[in-house]
Amino acid sequence: MKNRPTIGLLYPGYSAEDDYPALEQRLDGAVRLPLVHTSVGEDAHRVDALLDLGSAPRLAEGAKALSQYEPDAVMWACTSGSFVFGWDGAHEQVDGIAAELDVPVSSTSIAFADAIAHLGLTKVAVAASYPEDVATHFVDFMRKGGTDVLTMRSNGIITAAEVGTLGKDAVVSMIHAADVPEAEAVLVPDTAMHSLAWLDDLEEAAGKVVLTANQVTVWKGLDLIGDVPPLDGLGTLFRR
How many Å apart are CA 39 and CA 56, to the nearest integer?
A: 11
Residue 155 makes CB contacts below 8 A (sequence gap 6+) with: 127, 128, 129, 130, 174
Residue 240 pLDDT exceeds 90: no
Residue 3 pLDDT exceeds 80: no
Read off the pLDDT band of 35 (50, 70, 90).
very high
Task: Decide if 36 contacts 66 (C-beta within 8 A).
Answer: yes
Q: Where are the alpha helices (DSSP H) in the chain?
A: 19-26, 47-53, 56-66, 80-83, 86-101, 108-119, 132-144, 160-163, 168-178, 199-206, 213-223
Q: Which of 175, 87, 172 shows the shortest CA–CA distance to 128? A: 175
Residue 128 pLDDT exceeds 90: yes
How many Å apart are CA 69 and CA 157, to the nearest integer?
A: 33
**pTM score:** 0.96
How many Å apart are CA 147 and CA 142, to the nearest integer?
A: 5
Domains delineated in the chain: 7-107+215-229 (3.40.50.12500), 111-212 (3.40.50.12500)
- Report the pLDDT value the prediction gives residue 215, as an integer from 0 to 100: 98
Residue 174 pLDDT exceeds 90: yes
pLDDT digits (tens, 9 = 90+) for 65-103: 999 999 999 999 999 999 999 999 999 999 999 999 999
**Averaged confidence pLDDT in the chain:** 96
